[in-house]
Amino acid sequence: MEISGECIFHNPPVLVAPTEATPHRHALYLSNIDDQCFLHFPIQYIYVFTGALDVNALKIALSRAFVDSYPPAGRLRASDEHDGKLVIDCNAKGALFAKGFLAGITAREFMLGCAKPHESQSFLCTPPLRIQVTHLSCGGTILCTAISHCVSDGFGAAHFLRAWAHAATSSELDNMHPAAPPFHDRRALAPRCPPRIAFAHPEYTVNSDGDAATMEAAWRLFAPPLSPVSVTFTAANVAWLKKIYATASSSVRGCTSFEALAAHVWRAWVRALDPPASLRVKLLFTMDVRRLLVKEPKLPGEYCGNGFVLACAESAAGELVAAAPHAAKEVQECKKRIDDDYVRSVIDLLEVRRGCTTFTISSLTRLGLEDIDFGAGRPIHFGPLTSEIYCLFLPVIGDPCGTTALVSVPQAAADAFERWCVDGLDAVDEGGENQLTAVKHLGDGVSTL
């Protein structure tokens, strides 16, 4: 479904600043993990509510939330001390807040969205946090937030959104400061001097071997135009995949839900794109390092910067297609390599050179983002805008054990990708009903056919 009509803005956007003083003109150091080129875009979340949100209450609550979570109220700029790096100027200028009205569409119709993936945009020329509240003619509300990925990862964004929601739904008599305040100092992730790169780090290298035909096929794996696809897996689907991987090969032990889904989606992606069997293909996925750093300096659990590294599974395409457990084994093996020493080596590597990425999975299923109440009850939909660079694992509202995989693939391979995602799962439900919903993603990964 294409959304018709234009959003009407009766007033220009305003800046919402903190209610209390924050570290004025403090330049917050960004770690090498924060400042990676592929994070130079905003994390954009959309919430859809059937009820109305109080815009004034949201603005007041946002000002209160900024007191502890002050980096999004600052501005990104080039560092004065490190050439080519960024810092956050914590100047309390505030977030850009817009209010609009979209006529002729209901909250549930909006969820059908549009049929194009979202492209990353420039981020230095705008505040690191932008918000728009759009009221609908049905009385519902759409809340869209855009937080620069350089400022925080999914965990940090979730921490901020929960603090904002808490301030919006609490009385002024409540304690506005959280029991576990966010931690913003990035110096625990500073590189060592001199850098000590102790691993090969395939997650930041590009395979350049192979003949011209093979390399041409590799280029086509990401060739535009891209088509967003959403596939929702129920708990039964995930349990079946875990069982299949564990029983089919003795090399796959104790497969987690993430490992099973990552392997399945990776294999479906390769089968749909049909590259040469000899082509080495990679799967990257994010791993939280907050608990992996066991040596000093450590990261506290409330660290709200980018606290992840990329794990890299790699295989010949033909091996992935030939044996499903092979994909799960590769995912498990690369996870085992990520420890304190590996994380420090990544940081040092990024001090020496920037990296590039390939097919990447990022999971948002355990952050509680789908349960946040801003004053209108729980949303009927939560999800990020489709990205052209990530495959996202998202929670399913109404199914705490379900997962939606949202990914943009070359348009010519979209139908095949859906088909391979469904392959083997049709008979999972004992009652005969297929419990996997595969759909063309229409903007936000929630529509079903």
Catalytic positions are 149, 373
| 71 burial level (CB within 10 Å; 0-12, 13-18, 19+) | buried
Whole-number Å distance between alpha carbons of 274 and 152? 36
Helix or strand (DSSP H, E) at 309: strand 308-316
Query: Is-contact 428 237, C-beta < 8 A?
Result: yes
For the chain, counts of helices (H) and of strands (E): 10, 16
Q: What tokens were used for 431?
A: 């009652």
Q: What tokens were used for 8?
A: 């009407």
The amino acid that residue 370 corresponds to is: E
| 52 burial level (CB within 10 Å; 0-12, 13-18, 19+) | middle
Query: Is-contact 229 414, C-beta < 8 A?
Result: yes
Whole-number Å distance between alpha carbons of 108 and 129? 26
Annotate 78-100 with DSSP letters as a single string.
Answer: E-SSSTT-EEEEE----EEEEEE
Edge-to-edge strands of the sheet including 437-440? 308-316, 280-288, 360-363, 390-396, 399-410, 226-233, 437-440
Edge-to-edge strands of the sheet including 86-90? 26-29, 86-90, 75-78
The amino acid that residue 205 corresponds to is: T
Rounded to 5 degrees, φ, ψ at 391 are: -100, 125
Fill in the DSSP letter of residue 195: -
The amino acid that residue 88 corresponds to is: I
- Closest to 312 in 3D by CA, of 359, 257, 258, 265: 359
* Secondary structure (3-state) at 58: helix
Fill in the DSSP letter of residue 126: S
**Residues 6 or more apart in contact with residue 54 via CB below 8 angstroms:** 168, 375
- Closest to 226 in 3D by CA, of 120, 358, 116, 359: 116
